[in-house]
Amino acid sequence: MHPLIRAASDLVLGRDPKVRRRVSLTMIAVYGYLVSSALLAYAMDIGLVKVQEGRWLQAYIWVGMPAFYLLVRSDWSSRLGNPGMDLPQCLYAIAAILFAYAITGPVRSSVLMLIALVLVFGMFTLNARQVVIMGTATVAGLGVVMMTMVWLNPADFDPRLELIKFVLAACTLPAVSAVAFYVAQVRERLMAQHQELSHALAMLQEVATRDELTGLWNRRHMTQLIEARIQRQQREGVGFCLALIDLDHFKQINDQHGHQVGDQALRAFADGARQVLRQTDTLARWGGEEFLLMLDMPEPGIEGGLVALARIREALQAPLKTVPGLRIGFSAGLTEHPVGEPLHATLERADHALYAAKAAGRQRTEVLPAPRTASTRPQGKALAEPRQV
């Protein structure tokens, strides 16, 4: 689309997709008003409609048309609790049609056809309750206008003809309203089913990506997040850090206190870590009592990663509520993922650092620096010695 056309479209319809849809429907009504206004001007010019009465109807049209457009386009309609202003627009249009019926002389019968057009429009925009309101208001309004005009101007409004028209309209309009009511109910059911399906899909997505016990990302989803981060790294050239974490003496916790306490220890670690990590830090349950933490570089980098792990240790100082004296400790291996290095090599290095932390007595973090040229590192070359922290 040409930039000028896109700019004009954004100006008229707005950029928000929901607002654009509402404004687009309102523009259909605007189109109808423009055609009707032009025909009314022609009728005034050839003498079918008195000029004074025609101008009053045109004023009615040209006040309502921009008012509804501005309310929907600015989204003030949402603040009023009626985003599309659908029912008010339909009732406003019905009032304009009844006004036109009263002043258009010999062609007034053809004006009634426009009521069916409004009902069809409401069929796709109103809910079932609003369809009933509009249908009832239309029949009642038509009856009031016919009786009033018969009383005020019996020479032009034959009571017998008006009665026949009203009976036909009163029998036809409810049938059209019934169809609109049925369509509205079907649309509401489809919308409800769509919402239920969206909720179910969201639940499935949650189950597929979250660890049920801790609420953290699971291993499969964490791998996807890291792969996405690697793609971003290839574009921007900025690395990131990975820390492989293992709860200390977790098997003893299970053996001495039972698996229920072991589950509580896993949840306690996850909850404590969530409280102190930044929103940009990503933590996942990697498997069993192992967790994987991803931190962006150059900030926080290795030093920032050490600070983050220290904050987690501090958050776990309090013992488990169910087992007095039992505190959760962990060992961690921290390393960088430089540009061009395969993910498995970074994870292997983090695992070596974690093993070194456990061999050094646990409850500590070991740092294993990444090789300077990861993409050209020969296969089989020994990993560097971990740095103890």
**Domains of the chain, earliest start first:** 3-205 (no CATH), 219-388 (3.30.70.270)
Q: Is pLDDT at 389 greater than 70 in this prediction?
A: no
Residue range 199-230, pLDDT digits in tens? 878 777 777 889 989 999 999 999 999 999 99
pLDDT of residue 95: 93
Could you tell me the two tokens for 69?
A: 């457009």
The pLDDT of 13-20, averaged and rounded, is 84
Q: What is the pTM of this model?
A: 0.53
Query: Which parts of the chain fold into alpha helices (H)?
Result: 3-13, 17-45, 51-73, 76-79, 86-103, 108-111, 113-123, 128-152, 159-209, 219-236, 250-257, 259-276, 301-315, 343-359
Single out the residue of 153, 142, 148 nearest to residue 97, CA to CA. Answer: 142
Residue range 75-132, pLDDT digits in tens? 888 888 888 888 898 899 999 999 999 998 888 888 888 887 887 777 777 887 888 8
- Is there a contact between 89 and 28 (Cβ–Cβ < 8 Å)? no
Q: Is pLDDT at 175 greater than 70 in this prediction?
A: yes
pLDDT of residue 298: 59
- Is there a contact between 65 and 29 (Cβ–Cβ < 8 Å)? yes
- Whole-number Å distance between alpha carbons of 342 and 27: 55
Instruction: Provide the percentage of residues in the chain whose pLDDT is more than 70.
Output: 94
Residue 54 burial (10 A CB sphere; 0-12, 13-18, 19+): buried
pLDDT of residue 299: 64
- Is there a contact between 126 and 180 (Cβ–Cβ < 8 Å)? yes
pLDDT of residue 373: 54
The pLDDT of 358-375, averaged and rounded, is 83
